[in-house]
A and B are shown apart, each in its own frame.
Chain A
């Protein structure tokens, strides 16, 4: 179960909130070896995250996740390849957990591992049938599916404020669902056009008109 037959545990410092958990998770994702993360919090059941199978186990429902847990300690342990831990517990797919942690971890600020001005594009869609989401979030994710954008540009094209766009980028990045541009990149022409318009026209040309089919469908089927 654990690499080397021993339980190698590395403790990360106590903090309040989900920021250190999100940062540790992002680091784990970059490692080549399979890892198990254990998060211990005050007044909460321990949370296990198995990066070898992209699953988690928590007795608590995600709907009852505390926004600002106290006494957070994160432990990481390497795992044996092909031997996932604790096979007797009902593990669940990790996307909904990361989506929720990403919401609380940084608010509308940039995630610790993201750099100002970097452009991101979608590399996979989160499993939205399993994740609570809004119509605005669908619009933002679909926009990232078609070009590399900064948080500011994403906000401009979708009619959102920048912290809201940044929060969606944070959540997608934590899930490994966006990729940064490999190097300096000019903004897509649609961004240049939108930036060149008077504010009134820019607002008129984003989301209401640019997402016309989507908006009419949501009006009809509900969910806006």
Chain B
């Protein structure tokens, strides 16, 4: 079975559980006793895109550290009405440096209708400072909207493919 692991991370309330449930064909509903959310999309008889999320930031267990090593993609959801959303994004990009250097990252800003600032441009400046090698997409996102999640995952996949093409993999 060929698989592509994508991590979906974000602060509590950013929408990681909702996003995984909305876009996945098969999703495991969040259970308070579970450490991970899980969803998958079948890309063929022997190929799966697997989405893993850590609800409430519970991501320091053994399973999560294995997933980090296998992940080719990272979705960071940032809650715009959080106490310090820019610092939240900086922390995630640093924490998952290995994933973004190996694969691709896409950033979704949630609750931006409630709180318009910081703007996507503010986040883009942060991303450019931390990861100047290639621009990371920063999109406004309603995690309940499947069309927007499809766009985010499509961009993530296109970036993985494009990078592989340029590196001759």
Using known A-B contacts A145-B162, A190-B166, A223-B150, determine if residue A214 contacts B140 with beta carbons closer than 8 Å. no
Instruction: Tell me whether A129 and B140 are in contact in the complex, defined as CB-CB below 8 angstroms, given that A145-B159, A146-B163, A220-B43 are known contacts.
Output: yes
Say if the beta carbon of B126 comes within 8 Å of chain A: no
Q: How far is the CB of B146 from chain A (nearest CB, A)?
A: 8
- When distances are taken between beta carbons in the complex, the residues of chain A under 8 Å from B138 are 124-125, 127
Q: Given A125-B135, A129-B148, answer yes or no on A139-B158 (Cβ-Cβ < 8 Å).
A: yes
B140 engages A217 (CB within 8 Å):
no
The reply to whether the CB of A65 lies closer than 8 angstroms to some CB of chain B is no
Report the separation of the CA atoms of residues A216 and B154 in the bound assembly, to the nearest whole angstrom.
10
Establish whether residues B141 and A214, one from each chain, have CB atoms under 8 Å apart when the complex forms.
Answer: no
**Binary interface encoding of chain A residues 113-143 relative to chain B, with 1 for a CB under 8 A from any of its CBs, else 0:** 0000000001111011110010100110111
Bound Cα distance A145, B160 (Å): 11
Let me know if B47 is at the binding interface, CB within 8 A.
yes
Within 8 Å of chain A (Cβ to Cβ): is B161?
yes
Indicate if the CB atoms of B134 and A213 lie closer than 8 Å.
no
A210 located at the interface, meaning its Cβ lies under 8 Å from any Cβ of chain B in the complex: yes
Contact A213 B120 (CB under 8 A): no
Chain A nearest CB: distance from B84 CB in Å?
A: 22
- Distance, CA A88 to CA B49, complexed state (A): 46
Interface, chain A (partner B; CB < 8 A): 54, 93, 122-125, 127-130, 133, 135, 138-139, 141-143, 145-147, 157, 188-190, 210-214, 216-218, 220-223
Which 7 A-B residue pairs are closest in the complex by CB-CB distance? A142-B158, A125-B137, A142-B162, A214-B157, A216-B43, A129-B148, A129-B139
